[in-house]
Structures are given as C-alpha cells and as structure tokens.
Amino acid sequence: MKCPNCKESELAPVMTKNGVLVDYCPRCEGIWLDRGEIYYFTKTPKYLRWKIKDGLKNSRLSKILNPHSHTPLVGLPLRGNKMVIYYCLKTGGVWIDKEVLDEFLSEKNFFIKIEIDKNTFPSELKAPVGAPVHLPNLALTSGVTLFILYGLLSLILISLVNLGYLDPIIALIIGVGIAFVQFLISPFLMDFVLRFLYKMRWRPLERLPEKLQTFLKDISPKHNIRVPKFGIIYDGSPNAFTYGHVPNDARIIITSGLMDLLGEDELEAVVAHEIGHAVHWDMLVMTIAYVVPLILYYIFRTLIRIKTSGKDKSAPVRYAIAISSYVLYLISEYMVLGFSRVREYFADRFAGKNCNPNNLASALVKIGYGLAGKGKKKERRKPQLESIKAMGIFDPTSAVSLAISSYHPRFMGRDVDKDTLKSVMRWDLWSPWAKYYELHSTHPLIAKRLLALSRQAETKGESPYVVFNERRPESYWDEFLLDFLIVLLPVVAIVLSAVLFFVKRDIMFLELGVLLLGGTYLLRTFFSYNFSFFPEMKISSLLKKVKVSGVRPVPCRIKGKIIGRGVPGLIWSEDFVLQDDTGIIFLDYRQPLGIWNFLFGLLRAKRYQGEEVKITGWYRRAPVPYIEIKSMETSTGKSTCYVFRVKIIVGIILTLLGAVLLVLK
C-alpha cells in the first residue's frame, strides 16, 4: 500500500508500544488504521465514537486517499478545527499525520494515545533468522526423563509396600505388567479401532504415489528400518500419525484429505516426520512414559475409595500417600507432555534433514487450512477422529489458529500471506497465555515449529520459510497475572472461607464465603464480558491484537458470511466459521445449557450456511482466535446467546444470598 499522504513510500507494518500492529509510513511518519483499530488506543471508546460522529458534521473532502480503495478521505476535526484525522466514510479506516500523533502524546489528558515503537521499524526486521534451535541429546533426555518418572512411581510403590498396603510381588506386577500389556496390545487394538470405526484401509507400497514410493525405498534402508506399513483413512480432515511396537513394525496412517491437499514434496516431508518418530523409537518410549502418570492416578483413586469398618487408624497415612500420588501424577503428566514436545521437535528436524525444511513448514500451513475446512475436497469428516488427535502431526486446536492466521481471500491458491501469518505468530511468541496453553499440550506451538524449521532451512542454504525477528515492545506478564488472578478469584474465595470455617468452626465463614463467591464471580464476569461498546471491526484488525486472552476479550461487531460449521460434517455442531474480506474466524455459539447448543446445532444452524450475518460478541484467544457470540443477525431474524446474562444473574443471586445469611445470623 502506498502512503496516502506522501504517495511515494510503501506502508510497512510496525508495532506500537501497546502491542498493536499498524501500517506506518517511514518517510512522513503517519499511520493508517483499518476499521475499528483506532478504538485500541483509547480507554473511552464511547466518547471517541461520539467525537467521530460529531466531527463528521464539520468534515471536508480532502486530497488524502484510502490506500486500499484510493477513494478520497474526509478531514475530521477532533477538537474544534484542530487535531484533524482523515476518515473513510465507506470503510471506517483512519489516516493520522505525524503532527497529530505528536499532539496526542503531548497532551496528558487526551483520550487517544498512539506511540510507535521505533525498534520495530522494517529495517530492523531484516536480520538473519538466527542460529538453529538447540535440542538436547535425545538419548540422554529420554533416559533421564524415564529414570525420573519411574523413580517417582517407585517411591509410591515402596511406600505402599513398607506400610503393608501392597505385597512386593503385586507392586512389581503393577509396575511392569501394566507397561508390558499396554505396549503389547495397543498397536493391535489401534489396528482394530481404525479399521472398523474409521474405515481405515491398508494400502500396499506399489499403490502409493510413485514419488512417495521412491522416497520410502530410499529413506528406509538409510536408517536401517523396513518400509513402514501404510494405512489410508478416507476422510477430508488432513492428518498423519504413527504407531507400533518398534521401528520395524511401524504403521503410518494418513488421511485422503492430506493426500489431496499437499504437493508431492510436502507429502514426503510429512511422511519423513512420521518416520522420524519410528526411527527415534517414540512409540515405545512414549508408551513407557505414559504408564507412569496412569499408575499414579490409579493408586490415588484406589486409596481414596478404600472403605474400612470401625475406626480407621490408617486413614491419615493412606490419605497422605493418596495426596502424594496425585501430586506426583500431576508432576509426571507435565513431564510427559514436555517430553512429547521435545520429541516432536526431533521428528521435525529429522524431516528437515531428509527433505527441504520449508516443505514441512509449508505442509503444516496447508494442513492448518484443511483442519479449518479449507481443503480441496469437501469430504465429510468423521467427528470420531477427535479421539486420536494427540497422535496427529500437530494439535488440531493449533492448526485452526494457523489456518485463520494464514488465510486471506486474495491469496487463496497462491502463497500464504506471510504478513498476516506473522500477525498471529506474535501472540504465540509473546503472550504468556501462549506459554500456558503450550504447557498443557503434547505438541509445541506452531509458530515455534515454523521458526525452528526456518532456521534449519537457513543452515542448509535455503531461504527461510518465515522470518520473525521482531522485538517484543513490552512485557505482557502484568496483563497475564491480572487475567490469571481474575480467573482464580472465585476459587480463592471458596478455599479461604472453607479454611477459616475448619479453623474457627464458625458457620459465619461459610456464609461469608457465599458472599465473597458471588462478588468475585460478578467481578470476573464483568471483566470477561465488557459489553459497554462494540465497535465495528475487520477480522484482520482483531488478529493484530496481542493483549487478548480467553479472559480479556475485545468487544466487536463483524459483518461477513457463514462459510461452514465449527466441526465440518457434524450435523449438531452449533459453532460456525465466518469469512469477511480480510480473513476467516471461528464463532462460538454458547448458551447456558448444553442441550440448547445441541438443539440449535441440530435444528437451526443449517439455515445460517451461506448467509450474510452481523455478529456482535467478544473476540478471544485460548489459544484459537474466536468470537464468542452475543447476538447474530441476518436479514430474516436475530439469534441471541444468554451466557453472560445468566452469569450476571447467578453472581447477583449468590451475593444477595450471602448478604441475607449474614444479616439473619
């Protein structure tokens, strides 16, 4: 886009100091804001909207042109005839000159504050991708992780033996037997489940694409393994996963959607990733690792459910071991998740060594399209595939995020819009919430995998798939800690009142707890559902926002077309996919009772397919970018969601109930 003012320089994406991306002219230092983006820079959006409407009464046509449509903008004064910004009557876009930006900052009480972070100028973004991501020694990591996991398990088993709750032979059988049986039968069980529930069919090597045949015949002997057995699931959802006992009996399962969506080189890269899991013995190692949290949780549940007759003198010790087992279960669960993420990086690196790393990066992006319903073929996907998502090439939740970030109507059928892709990567790489969600995932965040593959490509002399060397303009931990505190407030109220009750033995603390629960629940609801003002925005503008989470939303209104359901092919899916002229985003239709969601999806959702709609709601990331619907309007009617209203009512009832109980006491 050419600068609307000097008409010579190209506008470049630059971050502001509050974490919002804007289009900036490096020559005249003005900025362009798309529809609704100006409301990111004010704490009084209603007042700003009123000032814009009032300024339009005195607006005059200018020579400044919209950089998208090249239509004239109107000069719109915000204070008398001063502080003129340039406004597009058709699109709602805004151009602000450097002089006005400086005036915004010079006046302490002015209601708009926009400060460019000059460390993120385009010239700063052309640095090399960087050194390859350092990965620890895989054998050492595996050995240490399994040693610690089984050390935790042995600690509990030994305690049970010494206290007389468990015979030593039984302890040994539990520790070894469960691991052996699970490892022995799980591949055959998977064969049965995939064949009869997912209609998977085995395909001989000679029936695979010719280029893939050649690749498999070359790579398998090179790594001293047999050519893996291939199965095809005839489903439009593009995915791939591996299972088996050892490298020589590995099964690689791919979907027909994957074969339809990817080019030959990209398909090779995905298969190489799966072969990497086999070569690294991931099937065996991860099975052994997953047994530990399974047994620890089993011990916890067993000890809690033990019932004794008469006075139970052993209860304190038993409960102590049960609680210890649960704590160790949580520790081991997170260790296994972290272990799984490390092995995913190694599988990516294996694919990058045997193929062009950019092919796998490109495949990840295309798979993201497919999981968001953007594949070539519109085959119906089986909702049951959700049960095996942990074995896929990556978490479908992350894939949805990637699809949304990469999609742009102008780029369909061509290369991915890298600028839009990087807009969403900023949240993945900068937001503490992204780290929180990754902590609970079997796979690394897609942005991190893309960067690792890009660095690997550069070390092989290839151009990196994506360059992301932008400096984070500020720390986002203060917002994260506030969000997390807001989430925990009702829990803190319950725990605090319960502790005081057991210590003081006074019923007043339970009544006080009801009052605190109601008050904190109301506070969390009002924080999570800001409904004072819903500015009209574009999807691309929402994706630029870094300070957003599942708790901290951006109120908005979006106009677009419903192009699909949230779960393609599922007849009772109540969620939607919305497209406007800048991108796609998921819509979360939510009612207070699950049965309402089911009936809406089954009986009414179909009528919205292909409809032009106006959505009012809250944009969130958790980690998928989505809009929680407040209301959905079409030419024929309006549908309203009542979750936030019911939450307010529940909070008020609890607060009043607690107050009444305290007064009556």
Q: Are residues 278 and 361 in the same domain?
A: yes
Give the pLDDT of residue 529: 93
Sheet holding 31-33, edge to edge: 12-15, 21-24, 31-33, 94-96, 82-87, 72-79, 60-65
In a domain? residue 470: no
Q: Rounded to an integer, what distance in angstroms lies between the CA atom of residue 39 and that of residue 49?
A: 9
Q: Are residues 543 and 646 in the same domain?
A: yes
Q: What residues contact 655, with CB distance under 8 A and at least 6 apart? A: 515, 518, 519, 522
Helices within 280-411 (DSSP H only): 282-305, 315-354, 357-371, 396-406
Mapped onto helix, strand or coil, the DSSP state of residue 557 is strand
Q: Are residues 109 and 146 in the same domain?
A: no
In sign, the C-alpha dihedral spanning 347, 351, 357, 360 is negative
Say how many domains are in the chain. Answer: 3
pLDDT at 214 over 70: yes
Q: Rounded to an integer, what distance in angstroms lies between the CA atom of residue 571 and that of residue 564?
A: 11
Residue in the structure block whose two tokens are 């591996």: 242
Give the pLDDT of residue 173: 62
Q: Are residues 543 and 655 in the same domain?
A: yes
Domain end (from 428, 459, 490): 459
Question: What is the identity of the amino acid at 347?
Answer: A
pTM of this structure? 0.72
Give the pLDDT of residue 412: 44
Residue range 269-295: mean pLDDT, rounded: 83
Summary mean pLDDT of the chain:
79
User: What is the DSSP-derived secondary structure letter of residue 176?
Assistant: I
User: What is the DSSP-derived secondary structure letter of residue 372?
Assistant: T
Whether residue 623 is preceded by a cis peptide bond, meaning omega within 30 degrees of 0, is yes
Residue pair 399/445 in contact (Cβ under 8 Å)? The answer is: no
Q: Which two tokens stand for residue 315?
A: 């209860």
pLDDT digits (tens, 9 = 90+) for 394-409: 555 555 555 555 555 4
In a domain? residue 360: yes
Mapped onto helix, strand or coil, the DSSP state of residue 16 is strand
151 vs 605, which has greater pLDDT?
Answer: 605
Residue 433 phi, psi dihedral angles, 5° rounding? -65, -35
Closest to 537 (Cα-Cα) out of 609, 639, 617: 617
Q: Are residues 578 and 618 in the same domain?
A: yes
Q: Are residues 633 and 588 in the same domain?
A: yes
In a domain? residue 468: no
Q: Which residues constitute the domain of residue 75? A: 12-126
In a domain? residue 308: yes
Give the lowest-confidence range in 73-82, 134-143, 258-267, 455-464: 134-143
In a domain? residue 30: yes
In a domain? residue 561: yes
Closest to 366 (Cα-Cα) out of 422, 416, 410: 416
In a domain? residue 331: yes
Q: Rounded to an integer, what distance in angstroms lies between the CA atom of residue 458 and that of residue 355?
A: 13
Give the pLDDT of residue 627: 92
Q: Which two tokens stand for residue 62?
A: 């200018």
pLDDT digits (tens, 9 = 90+) for 440-484: 888 888 888 888 898 898 888 888 888 876 777 778 888 899 999
pLDDT band at 381, cuts 50/70/90?
Answer: very low
474 vs 435, which has greater pLDDT?
Answer: 435
Q: Are residues 409 and 487 in the same domain?
A: no
pLDDT > 90: percent of the chain = 16
Domain end (from 126, 147, 182): 126
Q: Are residues 184 and 215 in the same domain?
A: yes
Q: Are residues 65 and 186 in the same domain?
A: no
Closest to 374 (Cα-Cα) out of 539, 561, 563: 563
Give the pLDDT of residue 648: 94
Give the pLDDT of residue 372: 36
Residue pair 466/366 in contact (Cβ under 8 Å)? The answer is: no
Mapped onto helix, strand or coil, the DSSP state of residue 345 is helix
**Radius of gyration of the chain from its Cα atoms, rounded to whole angstroms:** 28
Q: Rounded to an integer, what distance in angstroms lies between the CA atom of residue 289 and that of residue 439?
A: 17
Q: Rounded to an integer, what distance in angstroms lies between the CA atom of residue 197 and that of residue 229?
A: 19
Residue in the structure block whose two tokens are 């980690």: 623
Q: Which two tokens stand for residue 454?
A: 């890009």
Residue range 140-160: mean pLDDT, rounded: 55
Residue pair 352/456 in contact (Cβ under 8 Å)? The answer is: yes
In a domain? residue 7: no
Residue range 231-248: mean pLDDT, rounded: 78
Strands 251-255 and 229-233: parallel
pLDDT band at 246, cuts 50/70/90?
Answer: confident
Give the pLDDT of residue 371: 33
Domain end (from 459, 492, 527): 459
Give the pLDDT of residue 155: 60
418 vs 84, which has greater pLDDT?
Answer: 84
Active site residues: 274
pLDDT band at 591, cuts 50/70/90?
Answer: very high
Q: Rounded to an integer, what distance in angstroms lies between the CA atom of residue 615 and that of residue 509?
A: 44
Give the pLDDT of residue 377: 42
Q: Which CATH number belongs to the domain containing residue 560 in this structure? A: 2.40.50.200
Residue pair 270/258 in contact (Cβ under 8 Å)? The answer is: yes
Q: Which two tokens stand for residue 477?
A: 């931990």
Q: Rounded to an integer, what distance in angstroms lies between the CA atom of residue 509 and that of residue 63?
A: 68
Q: Are residues 396 and 518 in the same domain?
A: no
Residue 243 phi, psi dihedral angles, 5° rounding? -155, 170
Residue 13 phi, psi dihedral angles, 5° rounding? -70, 130
pLDDT digits (tens, 9 = 90+) for 31-77: 999 888 999 888 888 888 888 888 888 888 988 888 888 889 998 88
Q: DSSP string spanning 594-642?
A: HHHHHHHHHHTGGGGTT-EEEEEEEEEESSSEEEEEEEEEETTEEEE--
**Which of 9-13, 73-77, 126-130 is most confident?**
73-77
Q: Rounded to an integer, what distance in angstroms lies between the CA atom of residue 580 and that of residue 596?
A: 27
**Which of 447-456, 514-523, 598-607 is most confident?**
514-523
Q: Are residues 372 and 487 in the same domain?
A: no
Burial class (CB in 10 A: 0-12, 13-18, 19+), 414: exposed
Q: Rounded to an integer, what distance in angstroms lies between the CA atom of residue 482 and that of residue 18?
A: 16
Q: Are residues 540 and 632 in the same domain?
A: yes
